[in-house]
Structure 1
């Protein structure tokens, strides 16, 4: 049979403090909290707040860890791995070369780009027609990694005769799309060499060559129109012309119609014993209209002039005039002869045309540039100048 239940024990009385109060038993505080009439939503709100706080802390920790990894880890495409740190049997000759090594070619020779040309010989007119199409992959020589290229075509057998394209700004793949012609007799065609030089347009200190091409026409079949790509070679060192160079500035004010020409200096003239001076001419309708000249400088291969001349050219006529600057030399007991000329205006080409366009684009501001002197006869023939006849400009 079961054991009879014993008498229940009475709960122990609370301890009495010295002040007459009582101390709560260990389970009294939870009982008091449970007895407080909390709303039903209060526990859920507290739990949601605690969960949100915990999730925020975890997200912050994960974000800090990711940021530290990104700062300390290098991208794969920019991470440099040296072959000396790799412990394997692979040698450097079995590894694919870098892009710079491929571009440098065999033996470390740099590549200077390619040029597309079209050649045609007209038997009837006995002229060689050269079409400059485009150039690609030119090698920039400036720190900015770009260039302002233009091309110069010439025949070394015809001294002083050349053609310059317009300047293409900020590109290493210019599209020239220009054509020029040279008179060449059929019997001289096998001995003729076509020379094309690609240069970087710079105002100071001078134009830098980017590459050149020398093409013997004797090895080319000119019975048909040829359009081929040619590899450019390293630029030559003898780019300074024997006729020298001239530096001057142009400034045009459209409101007043004042064209100011400041002749600064010349170089590379190689005429130490002669008296040198510069003649500035303004032509209208293929006739010389006004002429000014500087004072003579004696015994200087690089004379410094720094003389200004002003012409009145209305804005309506600024695209109808030609500006010609010529360096003249007078030897002892000899008459003065032109050393070389530079023609600017809307009918010019190459650097002179670019200088004229920059002057019109930057009104009331002087534009300074060096120019290569060309033979006087070639400039006069290109402009078709007739004998001088004074003609007043409209509005002058």
Structure 2
């Protein structure tokens, strides 16, 4: 009986391991579980992510380790002769011209005209722009005071403009200046901030010598304002504080004389004359009691009966008089309110009419009595002829 052949013995190849019953072909043909494939994919993805993070961290660390360009040391010796000073730090004049801003104190638009026949100079104040506010970010109540250096005591005040730094004045005034005084004369314009119960703040000044201006033609030019104190300050002869109130229904005009300040003599006795004028003629008058000192306090009120129909023809004049040791009284200064007034007195009169039945109080600068009388052009009193014997 024949014997079946047994399994053949395959010799082992050197360098390889042969397992009993397991061949390479069978390993390839083996089916792997799904969880093994997922685990391999997760491991490969984690490895790639870690490699990417390491590369990113190395790049960032290398970038921050470099010295910034702004902190690099510059060799000034090598740059010598290749740069200019004006490229590093411009001059102050260049900054002013480049900024294009107006002067810090503002500007004035003036017109000047001289009449050689009447020897009169006509000054037209048109407007002001970019005035400096008394407080940062605030506004002012500007008005202008115009005078000529050769005409002591004579000045013109414009109307007060409320809440602005670029007022439009549009006012004209005249001064008598002889031809012989023109080379020495100078025009002074002061712009002030109006305050009803305190001293007015000076916003800027203009001091313009007339010898440097061509007065043969009508000139209208812009002028820069200077800081306060450049021009010569006008000497004041005192100030007077009083209130006015008008009641249209009863026609009562009440004048309250409060106090004065800045008077010359402390030993002299001062009093105030209140005069009402109608059609440029003296109509009614009152007088306070005398007080001594440079700042006398009166606190007296006077009432006048003025119908509404007369208010356009009525003027109110208050004059401060002093009586010295020789018992001779003389006028110190005068204030005029009414339609023919100008500046602050005109504004005070307009405020009284705009707020009936309410007292309006304000300080006023005293002006020479002769100057006020010339502005008012008082008519002389009618005098009866004396009989001839």
Q: TM-score, normalised by structure 1?
A: 0.70
Deviations 1:169-213 (A, max 9, x none): 111011111111111111111110110001111102122111010
* 1:151-170 alpha-carbon deviations (Å, 9 max, x no partner): 11101221111111111111
Contact 1:257-1:312 within 8 A present in 2 as well: yes
1:315 aligns with 2:308: yes
Task: Specify the SS of the correspondent of 1:177.
Answer: strand
Q: 1:151 aligns with which of 144, 148, 157?
A: 144
2:176 is matched with which residue: 154, 175, 183?
A: 183
Aligned match for 1:231, one of 224, 249, 253 = 224
Q: Secondary structure at the match of 1:381?
A: helix
Shift of residue 286, structure 1, vs aligned partner? 0.7
Q: Distance between the aligned counterparts of 1:267 and 1:246, measured in 2?
A: 7
Matches within 5 A, 1:71-110: none
The alignment status of 1:377 with 2:367, answered yes or no, reads no
1:332 aligned residue (307, 325, 347): 325
The 5 A counterparts of 1:166-205 are: 166-205=159-198
Aligned pair 1:119/2:118, yes or no?
no
With 199-208 and 304-313 compared, the bigger mean Cα shift is at 199-208
Task: Find the counterpart in structure 2 of residue 366 from structure 1.
Answer: 359
1:389 CA displacement? 6.3
| Partner SS for 1:243 | coil
Q: Which runs of 5+ in 2 are unaligned?
A: 1-69, 73-86, 384-389
4+ residue runs of structure 1 moved beyond 6 angstroms? none
Cα distance change of structure 1 residues 233 and 289 upon mapping to structure 2, 3 Å threshold: same
Residue 380 (structure 2) aligns with:
387
Distance 1:221 1:280, change over 3 A: same
- CA change 1:360–1:326 in 2 (3 A) is same
Q: Which of 272, 285, 288 is equivalent to 1:291? A: 285
Q: What is residue 253 of structure 1 aligned with on the other side? A: 247
| Matching residue of 2:259 | 265
Q: Answer yes or no: is the 8 Å Cα contact 1:197–1:209 preserved in 2.
A: yes
Deviation at 1:240, TM superposition (A): 7.0
**Measured at CA, do residues 262 and 381 of structure 1 come closer, stay the same or move farther in structure 2, by a change above 3 Å?**
same
Match of 2:130 in 1: 137
Structure with max Cα Rg: 2
Compared CA separation, residues 235 and 262, structure 1 to 2 (3 A): same
1:208 paired residue number? 201
Equivalent pair of 1:264/1:304 in contact (CA under 8 Å): yes
Q: Which moved more, 1:235-244 or 1:349-358?
A: 235-244
Q: 1:328 to 1:88 in 2, by over 3 A?
A: farther
C-alpha contact 2:236 2:365 (8 A) present in aligned 1: no
Kept in 2: contact 1:338–1:376 (CA 8 A):
yes
Indicate if the aligned counterparts of 2:150 and 2:181 stay in contact, CA closer than 8 A: no
TM-score calculated relative to the size of structure 2: 0.71
Q: Residue 380 of structure 1: SS of its match in structure 2?
A: helix
Residue aligned with 1:141, SS:
coil
Cα deviation, residue 382, structure 1: 0.6
Would you say the 8 A contact 1:112–1:233 is kept in 2? yes
Q: Do 1:287 and 1:389's aligned partners in 2 also have CA atoms closer than 8 Å?
A: no
Q: SS at 1:283's partner residue?
A: strand
Task: Name the residue aligned to 1:278.
Answer: 272
SS of the residue aligned with 1:353? helix
CA contact (8 A) 1:113 1:138 kept: yes
3-state SS in 1 of match to 2:191 = strand
Deviation at 1:95, TM superposition (A): 8.9
SS at match of 1:125: coil
In 2, Cα distance between equivalents of 1:150 and 1:172? 10
